[in-house]
Structure 1
Amino acid sequence: MTKGLDDRRFDPVAYTLDRYTAAPRRLRFQARTRRQAEAWQKTLRAKLTELIGGLPIIASGRQPLRPVTLETRAFPGYRREKIVFDSRPGVSVLAYLLLPEKAQTPAATMICVPGHGRGVDDIVGIDEQGRDRTDKAGYQHDFAIQVAEAGMAAVAIEPMGFGCRRDPINARQSLSRKACEPAAGGALLVGETMIAWRVWDVMRTLDYIATRPELDSSRVGCMGISGGGTVTSFSTALEPRIRVALVSGYLNTFRDSVGSLAHCIDNYVPGILNWAEMHDIAGLIAPRPLFVESGEKDNIFPIDASIESFKQVREIYGVFQAADRVEQEVFPGEHSFWGKRGIPFLARHLSA
């Protein structure tokens, strides 16, 4: 680049990685007993909530959900409802409830969070023209339908910044266009994060599930791919009502994924490396069941780092004497949902 000078001195990623090496990660997992591990979880949960910008303070009860069912349709093996409920004042969530015909009610239920792309349509069998599809296309493979086909109910939610929850300028573009900006940047401007906003939507989805007699609010899990895996990880780490999680195409290290490769701004938490790494956040899920799946050819969450991070997670579960409740499947594919072992894992742990 500049003759006679070290090119690395002009490389911002190299500087970032140097800062990573020097970051203290003050709340990294070091416990040796379950009692110590539980104390660590309590401390890190509080710090993580602070770092993502906090969650709404509930002093006089939660905002009314005001749910509305917009549409009900029958499909082979399941019923699909299109619903809307309020998450916070002035903010609504679009969701689809998929209820299997043969499910014993109240049914075990999975909250399904899509990754970047077309939004919730891409996991409930709706194509870009709004038509029904049956081929489970795209990198997300309609995984909410796969959940229903496995006998569990699915509540698939539209994340803020995706699909119908885009700002007007982005909404005029193709559904496949990344639309997290400017909203994710706006969250940072007010001292919060898009992760926190989406985690709160998951928590409110749990509240909605509790209003439905067909759904068992004591048997609820959360799952997602890519950006949905991010939301699943943070939500399950912070919300004890979630009983089991499937994280697809996300578990890695901050160093090797969002710290080294181009990612959407909604993946970032300011200051997180001063306190913890990604496996520490996943460790907050212990001892609840956790399934992780990673593609061998994933180009934005490199497989070697995913495998190494999972080893760290498994060590945390070992301290909880719960190593049998955490699994990883490395599959021969790219950045996509797999589900071959993951969905049966969910059904087993939710007794579906």
Structure 2
Amino acid sequence: MAVRPDKLLERWYNLTVPKYSFNAKAVSEWEMWRDNLKRVFINQLGGFPEEKVDLNPQIIEQEELRDHIRQRVAFATMEDLEILAYVLIPKNATGKLPAVIACHGHGYGSKDVVGLNFDGTEKTGDAGYGKNFGLELVKRGFLVVVPELLGFGDRTLEEDSLKPYKGENSCYKISTNLLLLGKTIAGIRVYETIRTIDYLLTRNDVDADRIGCMGISGGGLVCAFTSAIDERIKVSVVSCYLNTFKDSIMAVRHCIDNYIPGILQYAELPDIVGMIAPRPLLIEAGIYDHIFPIHGTRTAFEKLEAIYDLLGAREKLDKDFFEGGHQISGQKAYDWFIKWL
């Protein structure tokens, strides 16, 4: 008797052949594959607004620190929605700088990436799984922008305003409301990151041709998906996210913000990340990461290798599979940006 649904789920996955699973044999086929998948992917994310609202950026805080200036900025991303972001500027910098968008993961938001506790005090001791990677980037001469992703930190729902102190978020309610409206929280976060690039291009201290993106965990999703869609991102580092849907998102309990309705009809996760090619891409993965198992990461990385090989760009793809769990490594990541930006 098949009273439990295990075999049913397995069979349905095996019978689902993604329409845009990568199998191109020529560059012309790759171009058609990428363009078609990008269009469908944006649609599955819930689509983006047809018209962009004015950003109307404002600096709401500024503090001069030992080796950098830390600004907090606000700007509009769509009608009735503004985003907060930290901007870290290297001290004594001159001219136009390379910039990196740093996407935080689950936790208390953007403050975690810039060396702050949620109450705004400076962190001491354990840097957390994000390892203050925004600070590591600004130390190396990059202008860093850290958007507060929707549902975290100061961008939770009003009813959840105290939750970030406990590392909690508003992902569930925002996601379920958006799903009923044919939208996804992943789509909103990706669109707001695209608007963050628009914001960077309004600054006279940013080189428009040298913009990168780095993200960890849920921020790795945002980094990977935005980089796949927006080619203004020239270099990417995706940390503790690359896998297959089958081996991670479908196999391990994840936040609801990882689920995109119907996506497997069109692509597996490495197909989506593969749209970043042939731009430089580094994949970080802890071999003991329990929510993004390393065997799934290895399977996904093999597909990325096939895409980059076809395009003659294998030197622009690298990996850092490190001894550790669900955390930033940094062993190659910061040098990766120095090399390519």
Note whether the superposition's TM-score is higher than 0.5: yes
Partner of 1:301: 292
Which of residues 144, 152, 170 is equivalent to 1:154? Answer: 144
Q: SS where residue 235 of structure 1 aligns?
A: helix
The alignment status of 1:337 with 2:328, answered yes or no, reads yes
The answer on whether the counterparts of 1:103 and 1:152 sit within 8 Å (CA) in structure 2 is no
Instruction: Look up the equivalent residue of 1:19 and give its one-letter code.
Output: W
Segments of 4+ moved more than 3 angstroms: none
Partner Cα separation in structure 1 for residue 283 and residue 221 of structure 2: 12
What is the total number of aligned residue pairs between the two structures? Answer: 340
Contact kept in structure 2, 1:84 and 1:94, CA below 8 Å: yes
Counting only pairs closer than 5 Å after superposition, residues 1-352 of structure 1 correspond to structure 2 as 5=1, 9-12=3-6, 14-58=7-51, 62-133=52-123, 135=125, 137-175=127-165, 176-350=167-341
Q: Quote the offset at 1:66 in angstroms.
A: 1.0
Normalising by the residue count of structure 2, what TM-score does the alignment of the two structures yield? 0.97
- Give the partner amino acid of 1:44: L
- Measure the CA separation in 2 of the matches of 1:218 and 1:76: 28
Give unpaired runs (5+ residues) of structure 2.
none
What secondary structure, in the 3-state scheme, does the structure 2 residue paired with 1:186 have? Answer: helix
SS at 1:256 equivalent? helix
Q: 1:301 to 1:118 in 2, by over 3 A?
A: same
Q: Deviation string for 1:151-170 (max 9, x for gaps)?
A: 11100000000001100122
Q: How far apart in 2 are the matches of 1:135 and 1:76?
A: 18
> How far apart are 1:135 and its partner, in Å?
4.5
Instruction: Give the TM-score of the pair, scaled to structure 1.
Output: 0.94
Structure-2 change in CA distance of 1:158 and 1:174 (3 Å): closer
Contact preservation (8 Å) 2:153, 2:169? no
Deviation sequence 1:247-267 (CA, Å, 0-9, x none): 000000000111111001111
- What secondary structure does 1:147 align onto? helix
Q: 1:116 Cα shift? A: 0.6
Q: Percent same amino acid at aligned positions?
A: 34
Shift of 1:172: 2.7
RMSD over equivalenced CA pairs, Å: 1.3
Structure 1: which 5+ runs fail to align? none
CA–CA separation in structure 2 for the residues paired with 1:149 and 1:33: 41
Question: Alignment partner of 1:191: what SS?
Answer: coil
Partners of 1:79 and 1:99 within 8 A in 2: yes
Shift of 1:218: 1.6
Local SS of the residue matching 1:218:
strand
